[in-house]
Chain A
Amino acid sequence: MSARSRTPSERDPAQQAAHFRYVLRLADTSLVLGQRLGEWVGHAPALEEDLGLANFALDLIGQARLLLTYAGELEGRGRDEDALAFLRDAPDFANLTLAEQPNGDFGHTIVRQWLIDAWQLEIYAGLLRSADSRLGAIAAKALKETRYHHRFSSGWLIRLGDGTAESHERVQAGLDSLWRFTAELFAADEVDERMQAAGIAPALMELAPRWSARIDEDLQAATLQRPPGQPYPWHGRRGVHTEHLGHMLAEMQHLQRTYPGVRW
């Protein structure tokens, strides 16, 4: 729709492929997390939290639509946002492994949300200076929304962590079980390196300490223990997923797969 930004990647097929992949990873992380939050609708512990999680789901799916549309244009094979969201199988999804993890209890969902909110805060802030002006514009919009997502998730993390013995125990258990997926958040591969070199993506190495400091600050206020580092880097961004994504996609894509091209 808007004027397409011209970046050097439009001239080099390998660069173009990396550019597509980079945008697709951001899009899929938002889409998958948004779908997970949508599963809470009608089930959250209180109406206010139900509305909050549904609002975040809407924001994340909105961000995913902007990013998927752009990714489809970069790919140049005529796939639009719907084709990318509904007609790809799990190995073609490039989201962070953390985003696809099941909701668990409310505390578990809050931990997952908070870890990704803190990550998106850094990524989107870094993208404001991107050489890709379209990506920068999407990031500027998403950053405003991510700020209140983080305010909500960190607020709940602190309430639950510094709450009752049971809420503390549950949210710590959520943190202990999800922490292993955080090794993927800042593990740069050749796609990230190409994008960083082109000035399109921020340097992950520079963002990691900022994320870590924010995490420590919130954990301290929540009286929670940071689990020890776990070096195994998960590879959701490379299409290698945990078993949970396939089940989630089966539900998300059911209608489009059963009735191809169906319209309201």
Chain B
Amino acid sequence: MSAVIKPGGAAAREQAIRALLAEVADPEIPVLSIVDLGIVRHVRFEADGRLHVGITPTYSGCPATEVIRTAVRTALDAAGLADAVLEEVLSPPWTSEWLTSAAHAKLEACGIAPPQEPVSSPRRLWNAPLVPCPRCGSRTTERVSEFGSTPCKAHYRCSACREPFDYFKCL
């Protein structure tokens, strides 16, 4: 999957490792990498001479967290960095604002509406945000369920093209 990270300056190696991590897909939304998701907090060689990679969980109970750890470990092993230290970083907590702008575009392209600024209106049930349809762009959509197939998504339905779609929620 990847070449062994070549010896060189720490900065260059760290950059190569970031590029490597940008290939590790999120198991639940595989169009996104863990870098797109904004959950890679640090990549650095520390005084102990080992690579330290900090990853933050999205939701406390997200089942993907374990799968992601394994995928990162596998990618680092393949790059000759078997002694890398994986660290769980909790603070500051992840929010959907950590998604990169590339992530927003990738979500939309695969039919998942990216997080929207909540628009609260008394006419919308339980302050459901107004989410444009990722397929036809119509703003006449309705929330079917605040909770969906993964902790980070809600179910919506478009009243114009009649298609159901997932919405990546703001957290």
Contact = CB atoms under 8 A, between A and B. Distances in A.
B49 interface: no
B91 A47 contact: no
B60 A66 contact: yes
Contacts of A148: 146
Given A59-B151, A61-B61, A62-B59, A48 B145 contact: yes
Chain B interface main SS type? loop
**Chain A: interface size category:** 20 to 34
B130 interface: no
Contacts, number: 73
A2 B61 contact: no
A137 B93 contact: yes
B22 to A, nearest CB: 23
Given A59-B61, A62-B59, A145-B59, A138 B90 contact: yes
Contact of B91 (A136, A142, A144, A155): A136
A55 B171 contact: no
Name the residue among B93, B95, B144, B171 with the largest chain A CB count within 10 angstroms: B93
B146 A144 contact: no
Contacts of A142: 60
A144 B95 contact: yes
B88 A58 contact: no
Contacts of B88: 1-2
A142 to B, nearest CB: 6
A152 B87 CA distance: 33
B137 interface: no
A152 B57 CA distance: 23
B90 A51 contact: no
Interface of B: 57, 59-63, 86-95, 126-127, 144-148, 151, 155, 171
7 contacts: A2-B87, A48-B145, A51-B145, A60-B61, A63-B60, A133-B91, A144-B95
**Top-6 shortest CB links A-B:** A62-B61, A62-B60, A137-B91, A58-B61, A48-B145, A137-B90
